[in-house]
Amino acid sequence: MKIVIAHLYYDLMNLYGESGNVKALKKYLEEQGVKVTIKFLSLNDTMDFATYDFVYIGAGSENNRLLVLKDLKRYQKDIKRFIDENKFILATGNAHEIFGQYIIDLNHKKHKALSIFDYYAKDVDFRIVDEVYFETPLVKKPLIGFQNQASILRDNPHPLFTVIMGVGSYPNSKTEGFRYHNFYGTYITGPLLIRNPHFTKYLVKTILKNKYPDYKYKNINKSIEETAYRNFTKHLLSIKQ
């Protein structure tokens, strides 16, 4: 089994330890006996979406996000096809804004985005910073993490999460994230695939089943990661009270 991961704009969209996500995915896949190749790609690089199985983009500054949007427009059609072919994209932090209709910056300027999904994003003159405890029907336990952004997402038809704790897509929203086929977008920043081993297991199973229908998941001991998750959940619930 072979999986090619493209880590896009690794050197521009990397504010909060996002490199952990690709490391986690690689490790989990290798433990299943998969040969993993990671392509680190950025501004002006040639991209060949037909050869990737999984694409990752992390959170960046508001400026870098717009720079990346401009660069990625070259591949709008390829990305749309990639998603329609059920291939995987994980876009964390403000990276998932790039795939919507447009982004409105603080000067009210409208930047046309990749226009693959219906939602749009708008920059705000404050930062949304909070712990995250989000639920999704895809896995049994909620996800932990952090959000740290200066923008909000609106008109989102397919949220990925229900907010238990945290701000969500915009202040007082009850939902967060976006899912369509195998596109997963969320404002959760940082190493969410490290901190949520149950979600990473789900992703790895789905990726491999998708490409290799006969594949059977091998159980791997993740007790250290799982204890970290459990301890943090306890900590979160204790500060909530």
Partner 1 sequence: MRKVIAIILGKIAKQVLKRRDGGSAYPGALAKKICPDILEVLIRPKLIVAVTATNGKTSTATIITNMLSQNGYTVGFNSSGTNTDNGVITLLIDSCNLKGQVVKDALVLEVDERHTKEVFKHLQPDYLIIGNITRDQAPRNGHLDVVMTAMKQALNDNMHLIVNGDDPLINKLTLNHKGKITYYGVSKNEASYVKARVTNLDIAYCPKCHARLEFKYFHYSNTGDYLCPNGDFKRPKIDYEATKINYRYKHFYINDQIKLPMQNDILFHIYNTLAAFTLSQLIGLKPEDVIASLKNLSFSIIRFEKLKLDNRPCTVLSCKNETPNSYDQSLLYIKRHREKKTVVMGFNRVCSRYTWSDLGWLWDADFEVLKDSNIDKIVCVGKFAYDVATRLIYAGINTDDIIICQTLDQAIKIIRKKTKGPIYAALNFDIVRQFATEVKEVTL
Report the interface residues with partner 1, using CB under 8 A. Answer: 7, 10-12, 14-20, 23-24, 27, 40, 42-43, 61-63, 67, 127, 129-131, 146, 148, 150, 189-191, 194-195, 224-225, 227-228, 231-232, 235, 239
Q: Taking a C-beta distance cutoff of 8 angstroms, is the pair 99, 135 a contact?
A: no
Q: How far is the CB of 25 from partner 1 (least distance, A)?
A: 12
- Closest CB to partner 1 among residues 172, 238: 238
Q: How far is the CB of 71 from partner 1 (least distance, A)?
A: 10
Q: Taking a C-beta distance cutoff of 8 angstroms, is the pair 167, 130 a contact?
A: yes
Q: Is the dihedral of CA 38, 113, 183, 192 positive or negative?
A: positive
- Closest CB to partner 1 among residues 78, 131: 131
The Cα 21–Cα 89 span in angstroms is 12
Q: How far is the CB of 180 from partner 1 (least distance, A)?
A: 26
- Closest CB to partner 1 among residues 83, 153: 153
The Cα 177–Cα 168 span in angstroms is 8
Q: For the chain, what's the residue count? A: 241
The Cα 11–Cα 74 span in angstroms is 19
Q: Taking a C-beta distance cutoff of 8 angstroms, is the pair 176, 159 a contact?
A: yes
- Closest CB to partner 1 among residues 52, 117: 52
Q: How far is the CB of 131 from partner 1 (least distance, A)?
A: 6
The Cα 172–Cα 6 span in angstroms is 34
Residue closest to 90 by CA, chosen among 194, 220, 164: 194
Q: How far is the CB of 69 from partner 1 (least distance, A)?
A: 14
- Closest CB to partner 1 among residues 100, 191: 191
